[in-house]
A and B are shown apart, each in its own frame.
Chain A
């Protein structure tokens, strides 16, 4: 199983809504990532979890709140988002967070904020 599964695939939410994106992997990977990708741009790193602890927060606004309940799951809680937050949100995992460990990506959640 080399899959990273993200749900939902598409999400439309209002600026006052609270929603969550979910990511799951069963490869035994101990590093998990959230990336944001706008159209025709490369993925931008948001958060890194290493051994279930938040190790990197790339100065992401607090309306995005990550959570790692266990080594297989990664959530991204969304609250009071802005229309400019509309993007593809990609989750990735790797065996660990150093060296020769390629990241496997999920198919992403396409988020539209209205």
Chain B
């Protein structure tokens, strides 16, 4: 089967750094995506990794280790508006983009 696991909930303080982990076991691997979803809204694309290593995009960075089936999303200088669900998604070796269990992040002042 396909498994993409994330912690269910995380909390952090404004201005801090938080790391959201994602582990996956899928039928093939053609890239890993991170999406942000605010309550009641559509998911929006944050980052993409297909090779091992770190991709940096402003306050957001994403890391991938294909041998470990592991990724994380790093959010720096947290802001209140970063309170949202963060979804890890894997494109497998068919046409599927499969989402992980999602992590609800709450940022406190």
Contacts and interface: CB of A to CB of B under 8 A. Distances in A.
Interface in A89-114: 90, 92, 94, 97-100, 102-108
**Chain A CB within 10 Å, residue with most, of B42, B48, B96, B104:** B42
Interface in A62-114: 90, 92, 94, 97-100, 102-108
B42 A108 contact: yes
Interface string B1-42: 000000000000000000000000000001101000000011
Interface of B: 30-31, 33, 41-45, 48, 50, 85, 87, 91, 94-102, 104
Given A45-B97, A45-B99, 19 more contacts: A33-B97, A42-B87, A48-B96, A56-B95, A97-B95, A98-B30, A98-B91, A99-B30, A99-B31, A99-B50, A100-B31, A100-B50, A102-B45, A103-B33, A103-B97, A104-B45, A105-B42, A107-B41, A108-B42
